[in-house]
Structure 1
């Protein structure tokens, strides 16, 4: 019971307190890739911890696994993980909840993927039919004859991905700003941001109602845009990208559904960030600290779950203790 209580407390800290800390942290704007990795780590660890709780509560599955893995004595394992609280009804209920959770997440994932693929395929058909490739520096970019300034990418494989700019965007931006915009969209494709966005949507839809990870999807979109901004700014300059983003944001009607678009999430914050500068010397240690924190977070549920089992390792089939012969 102590193990399950510890894991539940850890899940609550990750899902609620961790969500609040990462959402309010000021350092994430200086190192969005690091922050994005931490968000993913928190989400994966939270789900793994809840899964451990359900498996431990189901007990039979866990008990047989521990006995086989640690070559442990089954009665001792049963005593360690069951205690006085254990009942067949609790184990059956936990198994049902575990199966229901896996089924719900699977259904949510399939549904989100179907919606995303439908929208992606629709935009790809329109782009292929109405947006021919440009010339010169835009020879790999589709140009859509639309007066509304917009820039977006259509995810896919190397041959199926598309970067689309409207004629309105080309008329509004300078050549340098157009290049920065294309680099921003290329970053979305290179980093596969559409995949992490779908993952965040699924997790938030599955557990956000409980208050855990409720900002995961929103923050993933926000940080993915900053990562793409950094990629484009490193190639074409922060000011060039900031002006391009400002011009595009001021134009009405430039959103493209759920596809990664230039204006993306909170363009005002991104413009201020680009103008103020993104890097400082102290931030160089953040990736190393975040990597250490990620490893520690991921190890906790496994360590807590297996710690009691380690105390009875190699106890299976132990020979009975023999008392020394008595002397007459």
Structure 2
């Protein structure tokens, strides 16, 4: 019972106070890629803790596995993981909940994936049929005739990804600003932000109603834009990226649902960040600290679940007493 309580406490810690603190932390805007990794680690850690607790409640399955794996004494393992608290039918109920949750999460993910794929296929078809093939600083783009300035990328498998720029954006931006805009969209594709956003959307849709990981999807979108800005800054400078973003936000943008647009969420924060505080260069120390924190978050459920089994390893043939 203690192990299950510890796993559930870990899940609640990740899903509520830690998620809230991470969403409000100031350092994440200076290290968005590190913050993204930590958000994903928290999400995986939460799922592992909840899933692990359900597996432990279904004690027969877990106990047989650890007895065989660690060559441990079955009565001792049962006392450590099951004990007298187990009620009739609770193991079957736990397995049913686990399978239902996995099925529901898979269904939500599949539904969102195929819906996004259909939308992106329509955008890609429009860009290929109506857009003019072009190149900006060596990057292939589709130039689409439209009265509103916009630039966005259409994610897809190798050879099917597209970067689209409207004629209004091409005419509005300077060559340097246009190059920075295209680099921003290239960064989205190169860093596979569309996958991170889909995963965050699926998990938030599945468990956000509980209050757990509620800021996850919103924060992943925000940090993905900041990370793409930082990549564009490396080659074109902060003020060029800021002026390009400001120009793109000066008028309405067309609806490009399912893509990653240059304007993205909260452009005012991004412009202020680019102008007032230069993005920090990813230091080895910050990367190491974030990697350690993510590793701790991911390893904790396994340590909690396997701790008693490790302590009881090789006890199968010990003499009683």
* TM-score normalized by the length of structure 1: 0.94
Post-superposition Cα deviations, 1:289-312, rounded to whole Å, max 9, x if no partner, equal 111111111111111111111222
How many angstroms does 1:75 deviate by?
1.7
List aligned pairs for 1:59-70, cutoff 5 A.
Answer: 59-70=59-70
Q: In the alignment, what sits opposite 1:226?
A: 226
Q: In the alignment, what sits opposite 2:94?
A: 94
- Give distance in 2, aligned partners of 1:288 and 1:139: 33
Contact kept? 2:177, 2:241, Cα under 8 Å: yes
Q: In the alignment, what sits opposite 1:145?
A: 145
Are residue 178 (structure 1) and residue 159 (structure 2) matched?
A: no
Are residue 207 (structure 1) and residue 175 (structure 2) matched?
A: no
How many angstroms does 1:202 deviate by?
0.5
Contact kept? 1:19, 1:215, Cα under 8 Å: yes
Q: In the alignment, what sits opposite 2:197?
A: 197
How many angstroms does 1:277 deviate by?
2.8
Change (3 A) 1:162 1:71: same
Q: Pick which of 222-231 and 277-286 moved more.
A: 277-286
Post-superposition Cα deviations, 1:146-167, rounded to whole Å, max 9, x if no partner, equal 1111100011123111000000
Contact kept? 2:11, 2:49, Cα under 8 Å: yes
Change (3 A) 1:114 1:227: same
- Give distance in 2, aligned partners of 1:34 and 1:229: 15
Contact kept? 2:136, 2:179, Cα under 8 Å: no
Q: In the alignment, what sits opposite 1:118?
A: 118
Q: In the alignment, what sits opposite 1:237?
A: 237
Q: In the alignment, what sits opposite 1:326?
A: none
- Give distance in 1, aligned partners of 2:48 and 2:78: 22
Q: Pick which of 131-140 and 89-98 moved more.
A: 131-140
Larger Rg: 1
Q: In the alignment, what sits opposite 2:55?
A: 55
Contact kept? 2:31, 2:280, Cα under 8 Å: no
Q: Pick which of 81-90 and 310-319 moved more.
A: 310-319
- Give distance in 1, aligned partners of 2:256 and 2:293: 36
Q: Pick which of 284-293 and 52-61 moved more.
A: 284-293
- Give distance in 2, aligned partners of 1:135 and 1:79: 68
List aligned pairs for 1:1-328, cutoff 5 A.
Answer: 1-134=1-134, 137=137, 140-280=140-280, 285-318=285-318
Secondary structure in 2 matching 1:134: strand
Across the aligned residues of Structure 1 and Structure 2, the Cα RMSD in angstroms comes to 1.6
- Give distance in 1, aligned partners of 2:66 and 2:139: 59
5+ unaligned residues in a row in structure 1: which ranges? 322-328
Post-superposition Cα deviations, 1:236-257, rounded to whole Å, max 9, x if no partner, equal 1110010000010111134411
- Give distance in 2, aligned partners of 1:282 and 1:236: 17
Post-superposition Cα deviations, 1:93-141, rounded to whole Å, max 9, x if no partner, equal 1111001101001101100101110111010110110002125646611
Q: In the alignment, what sits opposite 1:325?
A: none
How many angstroms does 1:89 deviate by?
1.2
Secondary structure in 2 matching 1:250: coil
How many angstroms does 1:285 deviate by?
2.8
Post-superposition Cα deviations, 1:207-226, rounded to whole Å, max 9, x if no partner, equal 11110000100000000000
* TM-score normalized by the length of structure 2: 0.96
- Give distance in 2, aligned partners of 1:28 and 1:233: 17
How many angstroms does 1:283 deviate by?
6.3
- Give distance in 2, aligned partners of 1:125 and 1:26: 41
- Give distance in 2, aligned partners of 1:216 and 1:312: 38
How many angstroms does 1:176 deviate by?
0.6
Secondary structure in 1 matching 2:156: coil
- Give distance in 1, aligned partners of 2:4 and 2:130: 58
